[in-house]
Structure 1
Amino acid sequence: MTEMQYTKLGSTGLEVSRLCLGCMNFGSEQPWMMNDEAASLDLLDRAMDMGINFLDTANVYSHGESEEIVGKAIEGRNRDELVIATKVFGGMGDYPNGQGLSRKHILDQAEASLDRLGTDYIDLYQIHRWDETTPIEETLSALDHLVETGRVRYIGASTMAGWQFTKALYESDVEDYERFSCMQPEYNLVDRHEEENLLPVCDAEGVGVIPWSPLAGGFLTGKYHRDEEVTEGRAASDEYTEERFTDENWAVLDEVRAIAEEKDVSAAQVSLAWLLHKPVVDSPIIGPRTEDHLVENVASLDISLSDEELERLESPKAPVWSRDIANI
C-alpha cells in the first residue's frame, strides 16, 4: 500500500497531502457525476483513511450538494487533521448579488458554505474566477475580513490571466490585505498553457499550485482512442473534454501509453507522476469516482520518471497561452 506523502502549501506552513481529493463528482448536477450519496461518502472515507487530508469543493458544485456531502463525510472526524477548501464566484441564485466577488456575495456565501460543510472555519477559501465587474480591492477586503474574523484560514484563487493574479498580489501587499496562498490552474500533460501564464508568477511569488483536471477530463487515462465514437465517459456529454481530441494530444497520449507499458503501470499513473515531478506543483486535484480509481491515483506517488522520460512526455506539444485556450 502506498504511503501518503505531505508537503507545505506554497510558502505557508500548512501541510497538505500530495494529492487533493476533488469533490466536484459528489453531486447530481451532471450525468457524469456520481449521483449516489452513499457511494460518495464511502469514497471520501476511503480517501481520508488513505491519508488524503486535503478536500476541495465549491459552492456551485451541484448547487451546494457537494459541500453538504463533504460536511457529512467529515462529521465525527478530527477537524484539526483536515484541510477543507471551497470556492466562491459562480451563480447561486437568479437574483441581484447572486454571484460574483462583491463583498456582499463573498460574505453571504462564506456563511452558507460553512453551514453546508458543518464546520466553524474554512481552511482555504478560493475565488473561483476573476470578477471583471468588481474592484479587486473590494474582493480582497472581504476575504481579509473573513481571515481576521476566523472564518477562513488561508485564501486562494483559480484560473485567470497572469496579469490579473499579479495585480491581486500587488494590491494585497500595498493595502496590507491577506495574500493569496495558492492558485488552482488547469494543468496537465495536454493542457500546459499555464506554463506561459500563471505558473511563473506562482513560482516567483511563493504561491502554492493545486492543478485541476490533472487527467484532462479522463483523456490522459487512455480510455479514449483515435477515430472511435465516444459513447461513455465525460467526453460523451462534455464538449470541452472532446475538444482535446487533437493530433498533438494523441501524440502526447502515445508517449504516456508507451512509458506506462514500459513501467507496467497505468496511463493515469504516468500522467499524475509527471505533475508530481513538477517543482511548482504541490497537490494535484484528483477526481476518482470509484475506490479502484482512487487507489490507482494514489499509487502514482511511487512512480519515478527520469529526465529522458519527462522529455518524451513533453516533446510532442509546446505550451501556448491565450484567454481562449485557458477557457477564462
Structure 2
Amino acid sequence: MEFRHLGRSGLMVSEIAYGNWITHGSQIDEDRAHACVRAALDMGITTFDTADAYAEGRAEEVLGRALRTERRDEIEIFTKVYWPTGAGRNNRGLNRKHILRSAEDSLRRLGTDYIDLYQAHRHDYSTPLEETLRAFDDLVRQGKVLYVGVSEWTAPEIAEALGVARDMGFDRIVSNQPQYNMLRRVIEPEIVPLCEREGVGQVVFQPMAMGVLTGKYLPGAPPPSGTRATDPEGGQYVTRLLTDEILTRVQNLRPLAADHGLTLAQLSIAWTLANPNVSSAIVGASRPEQITDSAAAAGVRLGPDALKAIDESLGNVVEHHLTGPLSPQSRP
C-alpha cells in the first residue's frame, strides 16, 4: 500500500480507502462485512470511510465492531454528518445541535473516542456557515475530531468555508469528498484548481462508477444477477450509466488494462490516483476478493500516453461539467 497526505495536512492516509456505503448493515451480513474489512487490512488499507446515515447508523456500528481489535493509532476513521438521523426537526442538516449530537452518536457506534476526519456530508443552505464551522471547530478543540472536511460541495462553497475559517480563526477544512471517475470529471474545471491552491485534498468515491468501469456490465445484455444494478437500493444510482454506448467504450479499455497487467477495476482506480489532488480513492466490496483486487491498484502509476488513450477511448461519454446543482442522491 502507498500513502499520501490528506491535502496539505500532516495526516497520512492510504491511497486506497475502504468505504461501507450500502454494504454494511444492509446489503451483506456482518460476518461478510468483517471479512471484507479484514481483507482491506491485510492489503495494507488503513483508512476507512463511513457515515452516520448509512443503513441508519448500522454501518458505523458494523465498522466499529470490525475494527475493535485494531490499534487505534494505526488506522484512520472518517465519518460524516448532514442527512436525517431521526424524525425531529433538528435531526438533520448542519445546525449546531445536530452536529454535536451526531458526533457523539458516531463516536459511540464506532466504539472510539475520536474521529480522524469529520465531514459535512452536503452543504446546508438553511444554516449559517459560521454556525456549522464553529461547531466543527469546537469538536476539534475538544479532541473528538482531528480534521474536518466536506463532501460534494461546489467550488464557491468550499472557497466560502475557507474564507470563514480564516476570518474566524476556525480549524480549516482539509478535504472534499466528491464523486470522481473516468466517466464523471466535474471536479476538474473549478474544484481541483481551487483545492490545489488551498491545500484541500480530494477523497474520492465511486472510482469505478458503481461497478460500470469494472467491465462486468456488457452492452446489449441484462445486468448480471447479484450486481448493484439488480440491487433494490443500489440499482437506482447505476441505471443511467448502463447505455450501450458507455458500456461499449468501457469494453474498449480492456486491451489497455491488459497492456499494464491490470484488471479494468484496477485501471479505473489508478486513473483517479493519477490526479495529484486526490489523496485517497474509496472502494467498497461485498466480497473479500473484491477488495483484494481493488487494493492491488495501489502504487500503479499511469503515464501520459495511457491517460491520453483512456480519454480517446471514452470520448464524448465523459461528464466534464455540472449541468445543475449537485444531486442529493449522488451518495455516499
- Please tell me the residue identity of whatever aligns with 2:322: S
Q: Which residue of 2 aligns with 1:186?
A: 179
| Unaligned ranges ≥5, structure 2 | none
Q: Which residue of 2 aligns with 1:163?
A: 156
**Distance in 2 separating the partners of 1:325 and 1:138:** 23
**Aligned pair 1:297/2:290, yes or no?**
no
Aligned ranges 1:17-166 → 2 under 5 Å: 17-29=14-26, 33-34=27-28, 36-166=29-159
**Distance in 2 separating the partners of 1:327 and 1:258:** 34
Q: Which residue of 2 aligns with 1:242?
A: 239
Contact in 2 for aligned 1:114/1:120 (Cα 8 Å): yes
SS of the residue 1:76 aligns to:
coil
**Distance in 2 separating the partners of 1:47 and 1:275:** 19
- Deviation, 1:46, is 2.3
Moved more, 184-193 or 48-57: 48-57
Contact in 2 for aligned 1:190/1:252 (Cα 8 Å): no
Residues 278-301 of structure 1 deviation map (CA, whole Å, 9 limit, x = unaligned): 111111001122121111111112
**Distance in 1 separating the partners of 2:89 and 2:326:** 28
Q: Which residue of 1 aligns with 2:253?
A: 256
Contact in 1 for aligned 2:179/2:207 (Cα 8 Å): yes
Q: Which residue of 2 aligns with 1:10?
A: 7
- Deviation, 1:199, is 1.7
- Please tell me the residue identity of whatever aligns with 2:5: K
Residues 160-215 of structure 1 deviation map (CA, whole Å, 9 limit, x = unaligned): 22111111111111111111011100000001111124222211211011101110
SS of the residue 2:146 aligns to:
strand
The structure with higher relative contact order (CA 8 Å, sep 6+) is 2
CA 1:310 to 1:16, structure 2 compared with 1: closer, same or farther past 3 Å? Answer: same
CA 1:325 to 1:265, structure 2 compared with 1: closer, same or farther past 3 Å? Answer: farther
Moved more, 224-233 or 168-177: 224-233
SS of the residue 1:180 aligns to:
coil
Moved more, 82-91 or 282-291: 282-291
**Distance in 2 separating the partners of 1:243 and 1:223:** 16
Moved more, 282-291 or 138-147: 282-291
Please, what TM-score do these two structures have when normalized by structure 1? 0.93
CA 1:20 to 1:148, structure 2 compared with 1: closer, same or farther past 3 Å? Answer: same
Identity in percent: 37
**Distance in 1 separating the partners of 2:308 and 2:244:** 18
SS of the residue 1:186 aligns to:
coil
Please, what TM-score do these two structures have when normalized by structure 2? 0.92
**Distance in 1 separating the partners of 2:6 and 2:31:** 31
Q: How many residues align?
A: 321
- Deviation, 1:246, is 4.1
**Distance in 2 separating the partners of 1:94 and 1:192:** 35
Contact in 2 for aligned 1:210/1:285 (Cα 8 Å): yes
- Deviation, 1:323, is 5.2
- Please tell me the residue identity of whatever aligns with 1:234: R
**Distance in 2 separating the partners of 1:224 and 1:107:** 42
CA RMSD for the aligned pairs?
1.7
Q: Which residue of 2 aligns with 1:322?
A: 322
